[in-house]
Structure 1
Amino acid sequence: MTKKARLSRREWMTSAAVASGALIMSGRALAAGTDGAAPIVQTNHGPVRGRTEDGVHAFRGVRYGAPPVGALRFRPPQPPNPWTQVQDAGAFGSAAMQSPGPDAPKTEVHSEDCLFLNVWTAGLDAKKRPVMVWLHGGAFAEGAAGRPTYYGDHFARDGVVLVSVNHRLNVFGFTQLPDSWGPAYKSSGLAGMLDIVLALQWVKANIARFGGDPNNVTIFGESGGGAKVSLLLGMAPAKGLFHRAIIQSGAGLDAAPRAYAQTLGGALTETLNVKPGDVAALAAVDAKTIFDSQKAAIDKAKGAASKGFLIDGFVPSIDGQALPRGPFTPGAQPWISDVPLLIGTNRDEMTLFLAASPDIANQTNEGFEKSAREAYPTKADQVAAALRAAHPGASPGELTIALQTAKTFWIDSVTLAERKLKQPAPVWMYRMDWDQSPALGGKLKAAHAMELSFVFGTQENIRYFVGPGDGPTRMAAQMHPAWVAFAKTGNPQTATLPTWPRYDLAKRQTMIFNLDSRVESDPQGDLRRAIGG
């Protein structure tokens, strides 16, 4: 997303935090009541003690990596030191260091030492349940796996082992140091992604002890989490660690170019007054000082930045090794040819970021047309006409929101699906249209992140966002089982949904999730063709 098209990173994340349920605890404590003795599982690093809550075994705050601090700062993650005493796994571990904001739960702790994961399972046995690994959103800058929308108890009750992961973010996860720092830092711009790879390796080694099948792992994420899934699909070290993928409102076709990322990394060390290659000096800098230096570094490097979805600032970058190139630029990597993909967006994504803006409320036809020219300079007239045809009666502000929704989220998802279709594994496409949330005076409609609690079945945890009534429950009754079915079989079809064909270039059949879901061929096809997708 270009700077012009988006809110600031801080505003983006404040909005996304609301959507993730950080404001709403709904009276649901982290532990809902305990059934019998606390379960203990011996992992390959040491024993952990979880909790049994309403028939589900929950293990929170399980360490999967050594603290990435001191000399390990900005370097690939390392396994933790083994332990012999039982470690308690009753509370979520620290989330990545980030701006706390007013929207994070009061219990959430932020730290540079953040390599923790959580597991929910219905049984500690040998049943080999499908595994789903959740990657939270937050534009690579903020977010946490332990927020109420992401609780995994509903997946566990439906026969899935749910794993959610914290990892390094922002400057700590994605600072690419220049070549002068030597080979140990060649992939420092991917440290946070390599954290996730280490977590997937932990899953492969340990999940059978939690009742899961290491040979049936689905990775899924939304927004920045969807971009993380996209990147994993292009990362060589992740090969073989997952078998299915779901991208929700976060298709990532490319990553930050290495030249820009190294320029930004050099700007950071210059801001910190750390000389190239001085590992000891870098290790000695206070974490808050590093965190607070991000803006100055980004400003210094802004002349080298590229435009695109989450490819500027402290975000993952191409290193030519772990990430050889953009994950879907020019196409999908051959090693994911057998990985089925479920991908989609919400109809009104950008209302979450723009609907409250006075500029949108006061938008004129001239302002909308200017936005179209900025977004698509060579085909603005065609795109503007297609948007008006697709949204009859829409105000100029609503048309601008629809334009930015298409540019930022929808068309990249279509493009990624098209590129994945060149491989034999199936692709399924969806769009989420439910728009009855009363939040923001009803202006959110089918906003970015609106589907999250429907996917997790946690709508009761986030009623502030989705609103009262049975609509959210009816949506969860359709979307959650589809995600479970995809994890189990690689096909999201369920008995309660209309027949959901695979996506292809001939018909482009797409599941439109709503109170009465339906399948539509090539939704908004005229707009897609006008944009060039």
Structure 2
Amino acid sequence: MEPIRTTRQGAVRGRLVTDDVAAFLGIPFAAPPFGEARFRAPAPAASWDGVRDALSYGASVPRAPYPPPFDTLIPDDGPQGEDCLNLNVWTPHPGPGGGGLPVMVWIHGGAFANGSGSASGYDGSTFARDGVVYVSINYRLGSDGFLRLPDRPDNRGLLDQIAALEWVRDNIEAFGGDPGQVTVFGESAGAMSIGALLSMPRTRGLFRRAILQSGAAHHFLRPASAELITARLAEKLGIEARAEDFAAVPLDELLPAQADLRREIGARPDPALWGEAALNMMPFEPVLDELPLPAPDCGVEILAGSNREEYRLFLVPTERIDVLPQSRLRAAATAYGLDPDKALPVYAERRPDAVPGELFDALTTDWFYRIPAIRIAESVPGSYLYEFARRSPAHGGRLGACHASELAFVFDRLDDPEYAPILGERPEQPLADAMHGAWVAFAKTGDPGWAAYDREARTTKVFDVAPTVENDLRGEERALWEGVR
């Protein structure tokens, strides 16, 4: 018998994934953000009569594809369309009569320009199997989500995320969930989004816990930088930098043009042209006045971390890792605020045979991902810190513990073909058991199973083939960033 649940907009019919798990897919949490609603805050979804089928994924947000070779490493396919602000729920079936289950809400990554909550790798069956109500969401990307525009609200993509969390607050009890036990978790841009959400008063009470994977609070654009991005995109399109002019551009012109911006930044990463985006090469990011580190009394329990060799995802498949010159390495250290003559020998000491591209990975991984995770953990007492260190055998073993390589283990989906290009052969199920189990334990209790982080011990859980716990992991490298990032 197909399960039916009643939301505030109307009843939805889901499907049984297994005897113990039900899925409800493509449920709208906000109105389509096009037409008169273009570039505006999300509006409530319309109600419906009868029972609405929630048997298949809804449309995802219109976007340009990843460029090669990332289009094969990070699949980003599936139907796209205007009615894209929808979410998916997996829940234990039949579930407890009175509800009360912990809830996990997933915010996908994709550099604020790609990704979808309906990717097969984000299927929530394993979380529901383990007693969690799991929700994945879509949010506006690129110019629709994050372009700064006169007379329009900033951060429309974040406002979509908030609207989805408000839907969870208002409706998740119908699916067996406890709205007071919500954990929001995300990776890359999804984690960076959470870093911003933690500082926004409107999110107070919408989630109790947060897991930030490979992203934290340090990636955003100040208004002046965001206005440089807007002006350049308008120039490329030959229009005025106004919402109505952008809305008049067909998507098959707008989406490739905004994708081109990242290539332009990479070719000429001049802060005078791009502001903060010159360093991380993301033209679309949250627009904020200052670094949004959460307050110590933010009321949210936090688990944060990164992968040991994040930037190898961007260096190995492109073969840049073997040709990157020493001058580029030194320039990066300088741009990140370090003295290359002092910092680079510290990185080289642990990696005596490393070529400049490998040192660039270590340096940039710290600047982009690891140090921001540490700063989040330092900001909120009682936070937990982790590092994912399992080295993938893909690309001749050189891909390493790269960006996104932890996802299959977090979701316990080692057999999902979407993860195969990064995972490589024979991924270790015990590691998935450990990492997925820690995430579920944190969502249920606030304790993932190791000591909390503090500035003295700096305890870090290392998820490798043989997981360990270490204190002040690579402390000499961490110390380089004190007062810098």
User: Is this a same-fold pair by TM over 0.5?
Assistant: yes
Match of 1:7 in 2: none
Of 447, 470, 477, the residue aligned with 1:491 is 447
* Pair 1:370 & 2:320 matched: no
Q: Distance in 2 between matches of 1:311 and 1:239?
A: 31
The C-alpha deviation readout for 1:399-458, integer Å capped at 9, x for no partner, is: 22212212221122222222234xxxx1001111111x2211211111111110111111
Of 163, 166, 170, the residue aligned with 1:205 is 170
Match of 2:380 in 1: 420
1:165-314 equivalent positions in 2, closer than 5 A: 165-178=137-150, 181=151, 185=152, 187=153, 189-268=154-233, 279=244, 283-294=247-258, 303-307=272-276, 312-314=282-284
| Residues 309 and 402, structure 2, Cα contact 8 Å, conserved in 1 | yes
* Pair 1:467 & 2:424 matched: yes
Of 285, 289, 293, the residue aligned with 1:315 is 285
Once the 2 structures are TM-superposed, how far is the Cα of residue 40 of structure 1 from its aligned partner?
1.2
Task: Evaluate the alpha carbon distance shift between residue 367 and residue 356 of structure 1 in structure 2; reply closer, same or farther with a 3 A threshold.
Answer: farther
| Residues 42 and 209, structure 1, Cα contact 8 Å, conserved in 2 | yes
Once the 2 structures are TM-superposed, how far is the Cα of residue 269 of structure 1 from its aligned partner?
5.1
Task: Evaluate the alpha carbon distance shift between residue 357 and residue 265 of structure 1 in structure 2; reply closer, same or farther with a 3 A threshold.
Answer: closer
| Residues 224 and 275, structure 2, Cα contact 8 Å, conserved in 1 | no
Task: Evaluate the alpha carbon distance shift between residue 310 and residue 210 of structure 1 in structure 2; reply closer, same or farther with a 3 A threshold.
Answer: farther
| Residues 112 and 168, structure 1, Cα contact 8 Å, conserved in 2 | no
* Pair 1:350 & 2:311 matched: yes
Once the 2 structures are TM-superposed, how far is the Cα of residue 266 of structure 1 from its aligned partner?
4.9
Q: Distance in 1 between matches of 2:235 and 2:348?
A: 49
Match of 1:527 in 2: 477
Match of 1:64 in 2: 29
Q: What amino acid is the match of 1:192?
A: G
Q: What amino acid is the match of 1:45?
A: Q
Once the 2 structures are TM-superposed, how far is the Cα of residue 295 of structure 1 from its aligned partner?
5.8
* Pair 1:113 & 2:77 matched: no
Name the SS for the 2:465 alignment partner. coil
1:4-43 equivalent positions in 2, closer than 5 A: 37-43=1-7
Q: What amino acid is the match of 1:131?
A: V
Match of 1:143 in 2: 115
Task: Evaluate the alpha carbon distance shift between residue 282 and residue 514 of structure 1 in structure 2; reply closer, same or farther with a 3 A threshold.
Answer: closer
- Identical counterparts, % of pairs: 39
Match of 2:50 in 1: 85
| Residues 245 and 339, structure 1, Cα contact 8 Å, conserved in 2 | yes
Name the SS for the 1:95 alignment partner. coil
The C-alpha deviation readout for 1:259-289, integer Å capped at 9, x for no partner, is: 232343355456656667775x655443333
* Pair 1:383 & 2:347 matched: no
Once the 2 structures are TM-superposed, how far is the Cα of residue 342 of structure 1 from its aligned partner?
0.3
Q: Distance in 1 between matches of 2:284 and 2:425?
A: 38
Q: Distance in 2 between matches of 1:361 and 1:377?
A: 24
Once the 2 structures are TM-superposed, how far is the Cα of residue 467 of structure 1 from its aligned partner?
2.8
| Residues 321 and 357, structure 2, Cα contact 8 Å, conserved in 1 | yes
Task: Evaluate the alpha carbon distance shift between residue 269 and residue 243 of structure 1 in structure 2; reply closer, same or farther with a 3 A threshold.
Answer: same
Q: Distance in 1 between matches of 2:317 and 2:420?
A: 20
* Pair 1:408 & 2:368 matched: yes
The C-alpha deviation readout for 1:8-40, integer Å capped at 9, x for no partner, is: xxxxxxxxxxxxxxxxxxxxxxxxxxxxx1111
Q: Distance in 1 between matches of 2:379 and 2:430?
A: 33
Task: Evaluate the alpha carbon distance shift between residue 325 and residue 369 of structure 1 in structure 2; reply closer, same or farther with a 3 A threshold.
Answer: closer
Task: Evaluate the alpha carbon distance shift between residue 379 and residue 266 of structure 1 in structure 2; reply closer, same or farther with a 3 A threshold.
Answer: closer
Gaps of 5+ in 1: 1-36, 319-323, 494-499
Normalising to structure 2: TM-score of the pair? 0.89
* Pair 1:44 & 2:8 matched: yes
* Pair 1:442 & 2:402 matched: no
Name the SS for the 1:218 alignment partner. strand
Once the 2 structures are TM-superposed, how far is the Cα of residue 396 of structure 1 from its aligned partner?
3.3
Once the 2 structures are TM-superposed, how far is the Cα of residue 480 of structure 1 from its aligned partner?
0.3
Task: Provide the alpha-carbon RMSD of the alignment.
Answer: 2.6
| Residues 120 and 162, structure 1, Cα contact 8 Å, conserved in 2 | yes
| Residues 410 and 435, structure 2, Cα contact 8 Å, conserved in 1 | yes
* Greater shift in the superposed pair: 211-220 or 266-275: 266-275
Q: What amino acid is the match of 2:213?
A: Q
Q: What amino acid is the match of 1:200?
A: L
Q: Distance in 2 between matches of 1:45 and 1:458?
A: 32
Match of 2:389 in 1: 433
* Greater shift in the superposed pair: 378-387 or 501-510: 378-387
Match of 1:497 in 2: none
* Pair 1:507 & 2:457 matched: yes
Match of 1:12 in 2: none
Q: What amino acid is the match of 2:283?
A: G
Name the SS for the 1:97 alignment partner. coil
Q: What amino acid is the match of 2:396?
A: G
Q: Distance in 2 between matches of 1:150 and 1:142?
A: 14
Name the SS for the 2:155 alignment partner. helix
Q: Distance in 2 between matches of 1:146 and 1:359?
A: 31
Q: Distance in 2 between matches of 1:200 and 1:377?
A: 37
| Residues 429 and 511, structure 1, Cα contact 8 Å, conserved in 2 | yes
Name the SS for the 2:211 alignment partner. strand
Name the SS for the 2:415 alignment partner. helix
Q: Distance in 1 between matches of 2:365 and 2:243?
A: 44
Which gives a bigger RCO, structure 1 or 2 (Cα 8 Å, sep 6+)? 1
Q: Distance in 2 between matches of 1:247 and 1:430?
A: 10
Name the SS for the 2:16 alignment partner. strand
| Residues 412 and 432, structure 2, Cα contact 8 Å, conserved in 1 | yes
Name the SS for the 1:256 alignment partner. coil
Normalising to structure 1: TM-score of the pair? 0.81
| Residues 305 and 312, structure 1, Cα contact 8 Å, conserved in 2 | no
| Residues 51 and 57, structure 1, Cα contact 8 Å, conserved in 2 | yes
| Residues 135 and 225, structure 1, Cα contact 8 Å, conserved in 2 | yes
The C-alpha deviation readout for 1:109-138, integer Å capped at 9, x for no partner, is: 122431010000003532311000000010
